[in-house]
Amino acid sequence: MAFCFEKDQLVIASEGFLSVTMQSIVQEIGKPTYVYDLDEVVRRLKHLSGAFTENTTIHYAMKANSHPEILKAVAQLGLGVDVVSEGEIRLALKAGVDPGKVVFSGVGKSKSEIRHAIEVGIRQINVESVGELRRIGEMAGSLKKVCNVAFRMNPDVDPDTHPYIKTGFRDNKFGMDESALPELEEVLKANSEYVHLTGLTLHIGSQIRELESFLDAIQKTLPIWDHLKEQGYPLETFDIGGGVGISYTEENPESDYALIAEYGAAVNKLLGDRAIELQVEPGRVVVGRSGVLLTEVQYIKQTPYKNFAIVNSGMHHLMRPSLYSAYHRVEPIEKYTDRPSMVYDIVGPICESSDVIGHDRSLPRLEEEQWLAIRDAGAYGFCMANTYNAHELPEEVVVSEGRKL
């Protein structure tokens, strides 16, 4: 059931278990805290697993949220992960993820990262450039270990999302277009003993709610898969990336489930009767709605022009509003029906004018030392937090089956 109000208290409600109130968490911890509903994470992972063909592997994009309890849940479900650094590989394996279910993405893989990936035997490295493929060949040859690779193709699709999180357009740094294939094939032939091309991959961006861009990208890439297959390459996998978004403005999370089901049905139809292992890399849609950031009002500052609610969290704890002008709902953790509404800018303590969590928010009159919840903060929240101005990192709490883990 994720986050909801019971008796005017914001809680995590789990069927058959006592609800955990946000008030109990702030009373115990008393400083900015991310709270995650692990049961909702598991529910979404199971829903994703059932939305696509039987021959599908879910690789959770752990850059969205790499909390150990979330990674353990992924491992216990027998799912995989999509990683973008050696550090993420190490976190995944420590949590029990099978290395054979790890795919490694990212444009800037270092020699040490590639070496580590080959040594621990991950499923595949998603290649982003000819130079990277050469480096993989050198490292695999020196280790005398086979490395499976998938070429990340750039389908030149321009999705409807923030420009900073578009990754499949021709102006982006990610992936390769068809013109790179002859050179890539030359490098494969030169390193055929230890480098095996086993698939293709694509990823066009993040926080995308319209399916046309996804389907267009797949339609543009499948002919390349068919061509390479006809050339004799033993292709097995087709990785369609992640990027399915959530609605940050509405309360009803069921819209996410409907979108996933529609996406899965459309992808299954596009693949047709090809003998393909489908790989999917969901991130935000798994954890975004499953987390809140709790923050305390420090001061109410009224000027002739604005009312400010100054809180003890901000862009150092949640970068999305300042980085992407992203919207997050903000509400008190207790409902107040007897207070008049007022309009506030919710701002943090950082010495930057961009440290604004939300502009012009209508809320019941706020008071100092009152706690607020920044909603839908489970993705790209704590993992992007920092200690700018020498502030402490926020705390993290994971809740499952009515208890804090």
Of 136, 131, 97, 96, the closest CA to residue 113 belongs to 136
Measured CA to CA, the distance from residue 67 to residue 69 in angstroms comes to 6
Say if CB 344 and CB 363 are below 8 A apart: yes
* CB-based burial label for 49 (10 Å; 0-12, 13-18, 19+): middle
Measured CA to CA, the distance from residue 282 to residue 81 in angstroms comes to 9
User: Taking the chain, what is the end-to-end CA distance rounded to the nearest angstrom?
Assistant: 18
- Element containing residue 373 per DSSP (H, E): strand 371-374
Measured CA to CA, the distance from residue 203 to residue 263 in angstroms comes to 15
- Retrieve residue 123's tokens: 């499923």
Q: Residue count of the chain, please give it.
A: 405
Place of tokens 């969901």: 282
Measured CA to CA, the distance from residue 200 to residue 152 in angstroms comes to 6
Q: Which residues are catalytic?
A: 351
- Retrieve residue 154's tokens: 């750039």
Percent helix, strand, coil in the chain (nearest 5)? 35, 25, 40
CB atoms within 10 A of CB 172: 16
Cα dist. 144→65, 137, 191, 194 in Å?
34, 10, 11, 7
Q: How many CA atoms lie within 13 A of 185 on its CB side?
A: 12
